[in-house]
Structure 1
Amino acid sequence: MQLSEEIKPLQHLLEASKFMISEEIKEKFQANLKRFVIPKGRMLVGFGQVSPSLYFIEKGVMRTYYSRGTEDITSLLVSEGDIVCIAESFLMQKPSSEVLETLEDTTVYAISYESYRKMVEEDAYMSKLALKLLEQHLINFTDKIKVFKYLSVEERIAHYVGQPSSLFRRIPDHYIATYLGTTPATFSRCLKTVQFHS
């Protein structure tokens, strides 16, 4: 199955910043984007909290997950170059039904909700950039839906571990298993077949 070539949002952002003509825009951009190093295992958004910031990942791995009974289900895995927040909570400023946490020591550029809204509403250039990032995020999300709709569990696992951006071997297998819609036991069994045939 042919999927779209993934373009990392942080690359879009850094490339765009090189072409900002106005010094005022550059200063606003730099003032609103703060760089942080966040330790492994830190929860940035918990259940019932409002997602305060949008994060661009320079280095490291993060995930979002929700609870189903006593089980945590990974809904998103992101790494270098990706953008992450709890979208519904961040954009609507409502309590989150998911958790956002770091799986490695992670370096991010963060922008608060207030700064994000102010920039996109008052600056046409930043508004276009935000739209471009949103469009790319939607394309990547659509590709993930295709994987779940058209591929079997075995094919999903083979597709995932074969991707250049795969986090396979960087994070625990059970996170990847729930992300791909299967159990850790099935993931482990299928993985042996995938590796045998690769």
Structure 2
Amino acid sequence: MKVTEEIKPLQRLLEASKFMLSDEVKERFQQNLKRFVIPKGRVLVNIGQVSPFLYFIEKGVMRTYYARGSEDITSLLVSDGDIVCIAESFLLQTLSNEVLETLEDTIVYAISYDAYRKLVEQDSYMATLAVKLLEQHLINFTDRVKVFKYLSVEERITYYVNQPSSLFRRIPDHYIATYLGTTAATFSRCLKSINFDKKS
């Protein structure tokens, strides 16, 4: 199965902004960004809250997850160079059915919904950039769907841990396991069969 090379959204944003945005728009965009250093284990959006910010991750790891009975299932893992929010909650300003939390001490630049919407509506270049980021997100999402559709659990794990963006060795195995649609025990067993050792 051929999967396209993942392009980090922040990389796309920075590359595009060099050519697309006027100095005035860049300055206005930067003025609306707030830099935060967020400690590990902080919940930024909880179930039943509205996602207030779009986060540009400079360094660190976050995940989103939802509850299934007594278990939480990781739906998204993001790290350095990624952009994250609870998309439906942020874009529609509705109550979230997922949680967004940090898995490492994380440095982010955040823009509020009101500031984001104002920039996109008032500047055609920002609107075009938002569309490009959405397109890249859809491409990355489609690639993930292909991984789940065409690969076995062992093949999924092998594929994931070999990706440059893999968070293997950075976060607990059980988060990656639920993200890949399996259990921590199966994840550990598959790692042994493909000769991966977290201590190596």
Whole-angstrom CA distance in 2 between matches of 1:118 and 1:94: 18
Change (3 A) 1:112 1:21: closer
* 2:171 counterpart residue number: 171
Q: What TM-score, normalized by structure 2, do the two folds share?
A: 0.95
3-state SS, counterpart of residue 182 of structure 2: coil
Q: How does 1:178-193 map to 2 (within 5 A)?
A: 178-193=178-193
Whole-angstrom CA distance in 2 between matches of 1:43 and 1:135: 28
* 2:116 counterpart residue number: 116
Contact persistence 2:56–2:81 (CA under 8 A): yes
* 1:42 counterpart residue number: 42
Contact persistence 1:62–1:102 (CA under 8 A): yes
Contact persistence 2:36–2:109 (CA under 8 A): yes
Q: What TM-score, normalized by structure 1, do the two folds share?
A: 0.96
* 1:51 counterpart residue number: 51
Amino acid at match of 1:17: S
Shift of 1:26: 2.0
Whole-angstrom CA distance in 2 between matches of 1:180 and 1:134: 23
Runs of 4+ in 1 over 4 A off after TM superposition: none
Amino acid at match of 2:59: K
Q: How does 1:74-89 map to 2 (within 5 A)?
A: 74-89=74-89
Shift of 1:36: 1.2
How much is the aligned-residue C-alpha RMSD, in angstroms?
1.1
Shift of 1:25: 1.0
> How many positions carry a matched residue from both structures?
196
Contact persistence 2:74–2:176 (CA under 8 A): yes
* 1:71 counterpart residue number: 71
Contact persistence 1:38–1:102 (CA under 8 A): yes
Change (3 A) 1:66 1:21: closer
Whole-angstrom CA distance in 1 between matches of 2:80 and 2:143: 19
* 1:98 counterpart residue number: 98
Shift of 1:54: 0.6
Shift of 1:11: 1.3
* 2:147 counterpart residue number: 147
Residue 33 of structure 2 is aligned to residue 60 of structure 1: no
Shift of 1:14: 2.1
Deviations 1:27-75 (A, max 9, x none): 2111112211111111000010000011111100000000000000000
3-state SS, counterpart of residue 47 of structure 1: coil
Whole-angstrom CA distance in 2 between matches of 1:57 and 1:147: 25
Change (3 A) 1:154 1:170: same
Change (3 A) 1:69 1:30: same
3-state SS, counterpart of residue 6 of structure 2: coil
Shift of 1:166: 0.3
* 2:160 counterpart residue number: 160
Q: How high is the sequence identity, in percent, across the aligned residues? A: 81
**Alignment gaps of 5+ in structure 2:** none
Contact persistence 2:21–2:126 (CA under 8 A): no
Contact persistence 1:20–1:26 (CA under 8 A): no
Whole-angstrom CA distance in 2 between matches of 1:17 and 1:108: 18
Shift of 1:97: 0.3
